[in-house]
Structure 1
């Protein structure tokens, strides 16, 4: 009688998936150089440490001017300004634009002191003197402060959430990290997968083959290795093993010591010469033998004990290695690998499931276009309901913004004759890569440190920092799942409040408060430089409301007060940006949060508390991703290590969260 292992009680495919899911394939995180990071997955959030761009720069060729010098200028009555020099990209400006003067400037060049706008060269004329020299420029259009200027931090501001954990690093993300000066990144480890092909009949490619002995080339080793790499793992090929028990045991134990997962192909059937299942039973734990699937019935799942060898110690591995035995026939082996093993490797490596290169979606908003040229419109995708085409929304922050690439999933080609895409219209999206993974949740609105922590707890969210007012507008238009709103807003939107928090806001000052700033009155009455936030920011709304109160006390208007604040119109993009200006001695005070001031070592003058509320679209509340967001909000103020507000100075649970 042979000692043959028969297939009895074949496991269902669901049971096979469950058995493999129960295996631990995930290696510890590691840090890699940026040039080696393509295809890896971030292990933790990366915040911007600098503003991008790090200076105010011209966005086109023309002349740097003081905007007020152009007011009233037009084709019939141009304003003539003295030309004082030129500024080129990559060169420190050597001129200062005084009233009545201008400087020639190149695209990408640093804005010279005194200038606050750029007039495009097409709207100007050179005014020649009698001897043919050009010392004056005729400006044939009026510009406003900030026109044709990309302010420091417009692309992404210091302190902003650049990329979240779980982000797969493609050339787009690597471009953003390069712009931030990042040279190494924390990534999830790649599962190390040992591959052992068995069978006396196998010969490695490149070696001599003897068909008379029934020899065949080992197809599985290289095929499965390619599949492991594609799934995000690191394949390790071991020498070919025959059907000898001792040799097979030696190779499997070596692979187990050195790898997170061991894959073998062949020797998994019920043949008397197939001995591998006995190795697993004696040296580990056989969880499953045989699956009710075609092709691929002879499949093994188990664990292999590590022997405490030098290889195991050097690799930092202890305990057990996961094991999966694949069928010997190449088609069966690859089918089983793709169906059962590749998803587990992707999960351990944090890699998304593969997707098609083109998807059909429907426009979330109407989009007008009429320039008569082919347009490749950057768009983001949002899957709203199972079975329905994903929502497609335009993503475009300008050609110079690297964050547009990160926020977009692909492009929609728009024909030159197409002037308008209707809301709900079906469109074809060309994905940036076949493995693009649309976000599970799309939220927009205010930037905030507590929000960054909440987003870290969600599975692949996408958050667009557009400010409170713009966030509510987009929520009203039906694009995002949720909007984060700070303070009261004039815009009314039908939405469901999921919860929120309060944050202490005020004036950030240098350590020691050398300018002796004690409140708003000091900005109005004293000679102190101030840096503000944009009008779309909730902090700006709180600041303006406080100015209204001060104006009422003085029987004046807000404009009377703002005209006296040095820097009221000087704005920076994100919650950390004013602090950076103060630290750089570019301002005596900046509008900001206590949390940011204390974390970066600045002083703080409190002006009050502000409520921050997360509001969801009523028709999206039942979505799983929105439910996860609501669940994360419930942990606010609960205390302990799991509290997102833990360690954030000036933060507390919003009363809206109370039962």
Structure 2
């Protein structure tokens, strides 16, 4: 009998938030040194225990006077007063300002007894005993060319904040400004809201910690979720605690989860939450705590768990529970569910408000069809066109398992379950992954290429989606990106502005020493060699297909017959290096690739021709600053292609 857990009744997003809201995540408040308080939230009101400043203080360099002694003074008829001494910041006054006298003061100095105002030094002249301008020695008298009123240029004791006054209230987040005020009050430690302690457990026998050796033949992958979710916890105001991986074994899972529950306010796990026979985590929650819900009507992220885990009790015998939330295993799903449901709960427990810039309004750059009967949390990117309109919003959805979506997307758009289609230009609300998200200066799509990587390094904050030449042109036609990079021949005419480019040599890549003695395309067609190809959107794939067409014409046959003879023609890999790495790993005898890649990875290369690589801009974006900057770099691409094997300038760059 199967122990598979079925998702029969999916909770609504509102029900999921209600279930999470019922969990107790809030820790007790604590007192921390002021030096460690930045970013924390005050748990109690702080009142001023002293006056700030604690004395009447000169607010500029000049002379302390009795204001009435300056009445009527001006440029034509200055008032003259005897100088009786000086007071500097940090020193107690040793002089008294009597009628007809003054004292030199520096900014921050204690006002001497008898003085009630300061005249700035720029409105005075030093005089000697004869009433003439002084010669640089200490003057006897000072001439004042302006009158002042009592209190001018003086900060009275308590003028900043008076003893007993409310300084900061509970719930205040401590930034450098608040820490400065507390320092002025002499506070060296403050009561703050506790940080929710969040234990993170990634589950799955296939996971390996980053930095450890990986065995792809066993299906091992690096653990993305532990560090990603830990960073999200810290950003939301919690304290993350990473635990060892848990395999798909009940006893191991129970041991780790209960340990985390004993030590943390909230336990987050990722993986082992889907309806699979090997998934055991829901059983641990049901048997060692309380399962509040299993499954939420959202995409991605349906297999979410919410519940409580029993703690094993302290020395007094009392036991409580720790909150528990199970996230999906795929990184995009895990982060999306965390941002949408979990981070707000952590912020609330830590006393931190939702960031003011957590959402932005934008307009869809193209239409998007949808209709699955559950809320879709659609990853999207933003492009600020700087024309006064709302940012352009475009979908970035490679699937829940694609980690690159984490950096290629800026946030999510929540699509209502009843929405079947989002129109191009439709206004949408984007919930940002972080308030620090900054839209790219330039959005490019198309072919991947070593010289292009160098070009992008020269731009400030670009974003490039390597979707292939064919798909890049389609997206350029649809009006989403600024530029598309196209390699090789194309069968699609798209209105665009050619900015420049280069030429690269392409062909067949074989292991070092060419053990199969591959001499050309005929070797791939006529011999039983394992081949690895590029996807149909790739410019390399198009050039390879054109070469097959030419060979078919030469042999008076069809391309389809030649394709049938190529073992692995349909085996495709995404990036320009991927076929070469398949060859190096021994998974293929020959692959399509670039001379530069073969050289860099110490493989042999059999040339089949050259390809032009052209950067094309959308006509209405050609004058954008980032696009003109890119065009300038392409005027002379010599340094872009310097040292790249098989690369040369194309005809557009020739003088």
TM-score of the two chains, using structure 2 as the length reference: 0.53
Q: What SS does the corresponding residue of 1:262 show, helix, strand or coil?
A: strand
In the alignment, which residue of structure 1 is the partner of 2:233? 228
Q: Deviation at 1:2?
A: 1.4
Question: Gaps spanning 5+ residues in structure 1: where?
Answer: 361-432, 436-659
In the alignment, which residue of structure 1 is the partner of 2:299? 294
In the alignment, which residue of structure 2 is the partner of 1:335? 336
Question: Gaps spanning 5+ residues in structure 2: where?
Answer: 362-433, 437-655
In the alignment, which residue of structure 2 is the partner of 1:525? none
Q: What SS does the corresponding residue of 1:182 show, helix, strand or coil?
A: coil
Structure-2 change in CA distance of 1:358 and 1:58 (3 Å): farther
Q: Deviation at 1:318?
A: 3.8
In the alignment, which residue of structure 1 is the partner of 2:43? 43
Structure-2 change in CA distance of 1:357 and 1:320 (3 Å): closer
CA distance in 1, matches of 2:287, 2:358: 46
In the alignment, which residue of structure 2 is the partner of 1:348? 349
Q: Radius of gyration: which is bigger?
A: 2
Structure-2 change in CA distance of 1:318 and 1:139 (3 Å): farther
In the alignment, which residue of structure 1 is the partner of 2:91? 91
Q: Deviation at 1:354?
A: 1.8
CA distance in 2, matches of 1:163, 1:189: 18
Structure-2 change in CA distance of 1:84 and 1:434 (3 Å): farther
Mapping of residues 264-275 of structure 1, within 5 Å: 264-275=269-280
In the alignment, which residue of structure 1 is the partner of 2:186? 181
Q: Deviation at 1:72?
A: 1.2
Cα-to-partner distance string for 1:421-453 (whole Å, 9 max, x where unaligned): xxxxxxxxxxxx969xxxxxxxxxxxxxxxxxx
8 Å Cα contact 1:38/1:174 also seen in 2: yes
CA distance in 2, matches of 1:212, 1:23: 41
Aligned-pair Cα RMSD in Å: 2.0
Q: What SS does the corresponding residue of 1:156 show, helix, strand or coil?
A: coil
Structure-2 change in CA distance of 1:358 and 1:136 (3 Å): farther
Structure-2 change in CA distance of 1:358 and 1:334 (3 Å): closer
Mapping of residues 29-40 of structure 1, within 5 Å: 29-40=29-40
CA distance in 2, matches of 1:317, 1:84: 74
TM-score of the two chains, using structure 1 as the length reference: 0.53
Q: Deviation at 1:169?
A: 0.6
* 1:119 corresponds to 2:119: yes
Q: Deviation at 1:129?
A: 3.0
Q: What SS does the corresponding residue of 1:196 show, helix, strand or coil?
A: strand
CA distance in 1, matches of 2:150, 2:252: 77
Q: What SS does the corresponding residue of 2:255 show, helix, strand or coil?
A: helix
Q: What SS does the corresponding residue of 1:126 show, helix, strand or coil?
A: strand
In the alignment, which residue of structure 2 is the partner of 1:320? 321
Mapping of residues 362-373 of structure 1, within 5 Å: none
CA distance in 1, matches of 2:231, 2:12: 27
In the alignment, which residue of structure 1 is the partner of 2:14? 14
Cα-to-partner distance string for 1:402-439 (whole Å, 9 max, x where unaligned): xxxxxxxxxxxxxxxxxxxxxxxxxxxxxxx969xxxx
Structure-2 change in CA distance of 1:144 and 1:224 (3 Å): same
Mapping of residues 88-487 of structure 1, within 5 Å: 88-129=88-129, 132=135, 133=137, 134-308=139-313, 318-356=319-357
CA distance in 1, matches of 2:108, 2:358: 34
Q: What SS does the corresponding residue of 1:32 show, helix, strand or coil?
A: strand
Q: Deviation at 1:355?
A: 2.7
CA distance in 2, matches of 1:269, 1:307: 27
CA distance in 2, matches of 1:190, 1:317: 23
Number of aligned positions between the proteins: 359
Cα-to-partner distance string for 1:356-388 (whole Å, 9 max, x where unaligned): 39999xxxxxxxxxxxxxxxxxxxxxxxxxxxx
Structure-2 change in CA distance of 1:2 and 1:434 (3 Å): closer
Q: Deviation at 1:77?
A: 1.2
Cα-to-partner distance string for 1:337-359 (whole Å, 9 max, x where unaligned): 01000000000000111233999
In the alignment, which residue of structure 2 is the partner of 1:58? 58
Cα-to-partner distance string for 1:196-219 (whole Å, 9 max, x where unaligned): 000000001111100000000001
8 Å Cα contact 1:190/1:234 also seen in 2: yes
CA distance in 2, matches of 1:340, 1:69: 69
Q: Deviation at 1:247?
A: 0.4
Q: What SS does the corresponding residue of 1:271 show, helix, strand or coil?
A: coil
Structure-2 change in CA distance of 1:53 and 1:30 (3 Å): same
Cα-to-partner distance string for 1:58-109 (whole Å, 9 max, x where unaligned): 1111100000111111111111000011111111111110100001111111
8 Å Cα contact 1:42/1:185 also seen in 2: yes
Q: Deviation at 1:47?
A: 0.3
Q: What SS does the corresponding residue of 1:138 show, helix, strand or coil?
A: strand
CA distance in 2, matches of 1:359, 1:325: 28
Structure-2 change in CA distance of 1:357 and 1:153 (3 Å): farther
Structure-2 change in CA distance of 1:238 and 1:166 (3 Å): same
Higher mean C-alpha displacement, 125-134 vs 260-269: 125-134
CA distance in 1, matches of 2:359, 2:90: 40
Structure-2 change in CA distance of 1:317 and 1:61 (3 Å): farther
8 Å Cα contact 1:66/1:99 also seen in 2: yes
CA distance in 2, matches of 1:244, 1:434: 39
CA distance in 2, matches of 1:268, 1:195: 15
Q: What SS does the corresponding residue of 2:19 show, helix, strand or coil?
A: helix
